[in-house]
A and B are shown apart, each in its own frame.
Chain A
């Protein structure tokens, strides 16, 4: 049996070698030199102007800077590439004064000409974010460090718009004649990190930008964003210390992760609103009383319990509760079966009636939402036929308006209600998030909200918009969900903005 013994010896030695081999680097102060973060979706394309998926945005936000950035609380703006700014008396001219010490990761200084070039590209490139520069008449460089933006009219959310990630500043010299794949694959920015290696569908490797203007930042020299799609595997990776943090542990595991003394289970305020899009074009959804009946027959607390294991907040208005001008005193279309039955009777819609609910299959959130709703609405004689479809097919059907009820949601990209209001309640932009809702009264309010620059007056306008939206109920708002993040307690200084992006520049990881 010598062969067997040899094989056995080989296996044991190899096993010891393999198991014992674990590379790790740390500096003298007992801090790791690399931050490892596990994510549930991989970044695909890092062009700030054309992309709208969060994994892309949150990754390139480590690399790019804008003129101003949202503060962490999400209720105001901090200087970024512009150290200060001013507005003319009529609100139509904005002047941004650039900081002189900002440099791109290739060493070139950030000049006003780069800002003009980048913003013009953002305004003129076909993509989902052109609305953010819609009121802009012209962008000019007064000198190397002064940018003047002239607006067509005074614009309430302009500072919020200019802080949007699509208005990132790129070096003109590098990208002047670049092709789409260069923007997608080779980002060059002035932010705290720069991309050094990208294994597609596997890992983004970023190193500290040596020219970043904030001295001593980022505190850790390397950031690795690793794609670990399976929820269980991602959780095990953070529990075993293989990564320092992960995004999106499912709500079903939150309770257990909270009990782990080594981990910090964070439920970060977000701008996520889950909702049901109703196809307002077709009967019986063109009947406002029927829509209201459904809204009142929806037990949001029960959905929060079933879908989020209690970690979400029942939705009241269309606005996320972290967004400025959210009306805290609104009760929403609260759960009330008697009222729902009454409204249904008034609507004249014959019951029992069967309607179809379209949703994305294999979605940890949409699936239980659909099942819970079916039981709820059956109580007022509305039977739901469930139509689970894969992502690509469901999206296509929804966009072609071939649906009755569709489970979807929203997250804000700017800390201002204007974006969501225009998108969800204004017909011109997206047929009111494809619901087909159209209202002259609403359109007038939306236009007023955009042009009002007095904060208190704007607040009142958005309160009215929230009320009208509830009365018309084109969409049924379900709940506000937090971002779930689990990090190792050895990782300090991590921040997630309410609009989603992570901030890694202050992060340290102790041994």
Chain B
């Protein structure tokens, strides 16, 4: 419990520092949101009026103070582009990205675990060679390209899945997000399968597995009850690290598949200098990454009794 409180306490100052950095970085960017929104043809007076209205002409420190005060009271500010409170837009976007990331994690596991088992059981024989070959391929192909390829095959030729959008209802989301989730997961599935394979092989070589076999336990029982469970442990850390990456990777995937998630929103908001949105999203990403790290740290002792002992 102490450990948990200490870990959470360490996280808070980092979060505060993140807000300062984010605020300054965005202000350092050249380009003006008023000009970006009004375009080449707007009059100077119109741009000046908009800057005044949005408070962009006030001193930096004052802008930061206002931002922090609002943040603490739960006011995330107004999206300059959409003239809508950021807090109103955020929930749907978060849902889409979370759905995508969790979905892709589930797919990664569904792909990786059977492959790794197959390879580990038939170590150095042809199924193993095949799997190892298969694993190398996705690591060498970029996500946006694979995304387009999947679209051509499954959306255009076979028409099994829709080409774009988030869909409606839970089943609709499952269907619409299948291709993007697959695109996001295939590379990770490869990494996962490779790690799990070697982890399985290591565990199979331990003495307690020999002992279980010597006791006369069925091969299946040994594999699922003793080997797989132990081999999955290092994978938890890997998943934690990968989750943060997946949120970043969603930037590309969401643009290709026209998903209204955090990633695509981030890119557009940066281009439009939609300050409040960029600030909120960067903070969300940063807090998300910190939360994932924290969760991984907290889960690990639950899975491995040896960590708890320390």
Contact = CB atoms under 8 A, between A and B. Distances in A.
B178 A128 contact: no
Interface in A428-452: 429-430, 433-434
A237 B159 CA distance: 10
A393 B172 contact: no
- B interface, how many residues as a size bin? 35 or more
B81 A45 contact: yes
B39 to A, nearest CB: 6
Nearest to B177: A18
A17 B171 CA distance: 8
B71 interface: no
A128 B43 contact: yes
A396 B174 CA distance: 43
A230 B256 contact: yes
A19 B161 contact: yes
B164 A226 contact: yes
B209 to A, nearest CB: 19
Contacts of A17: 171
Contacts of A7: 110, 114
A200 B32 contact: no
Nearest to A230: B256
A393 B164 contact: no
Contacts of A408: 40
Interface in B52-88: 78-79, 81-84
A414 B110 CA distance: 58
B11 interface: no
Given A19-B175, A391-B36, A233 B258 contact: yes
Nearest to A392: B31
Nearest to A43: B82
A396 B35 contact: yes
Contacts of B155: 236-237, 240, 242
B258 A227 contact: yes
B83 A201 contact: no
Given A45-B82, A230-B258, A396-B35, A23 B49 contact: no
B144 to A, nearest CB: 9
Interface in A222-255: 226-230, 232-234, 236-237, 239-242
- A interface, how many residues as a size bin? 35 or more
Interface stretch (A25-33, A113-121, A156-164, A180-188): A180-188
A89 to B, nearest CB: 35
B177 to A, nearest CB: 10
Interface string B148-169: 1001100110011111111010
A38 interface: yes
Contacts of A393: 29-31
A232 B151 CA distance: 9
A455 interface: no
B166 A423 contact: no
A50 B146 CA distance: 41
B163 A242 contact: yes
Contact of B41 (A200, A240, A423): A423
A378 interface: no
Nearest to A410: B41
A265 B82 CA distance: 32
B83 A184 contact: yes
Interface string A1-16: 1011001000100100
Nearest to A182: B83
A233 B256 contact: yes
B110 A11 contact: yes
A291 to B, nearest CB: 20
A196 B268 CA distance: 24
Given A200-B82, A408-B40, A242 B32 contact: no
Contacts of A11: 110
Interface in A419-475: 423, 429-430, 433-434
Contacts of A202: 165-166, 260
Given A230-B258, A233-B151, A237-B163, A392 B33 contact: yes
Greatest chain B CB density within 10 A among A38, A199, A233 is at A233
Query: Closest 10 A-B residue pairs measured CB to CB?
Result: A392-B31, A202-B260, A184-B83, A392-B36, A228-B258, A237-B163, A393-B31, A18-B175, A19-B160, A236-B163
Interface of A: 1, 3-4, 7, 11, 14, 17-19, 21-23, 38, 42, 44-45, 52-53, 126-128, 180-181, 184-185, 199-203, 226-230, 232-234, 236-237, 239-242, 390-393, 395-396, 398-399, 408, 423, 429-430, 433-434
Interface of B: 29-33, 35-47, 49, 78-79, 81-84, 89, 92, 110, 114, 117, 148, 151-152, 155-156, 159-166, 168, 171-172, 174-175, 178, 220, 224, 255-258, 260, 264-265, 268, 271-273
Given A21-B171, A200-B89, A200-B260, 6 more contacts: A42-B268, A52-B39, A200-B82, A390-B271, A392-B32, A395-B39
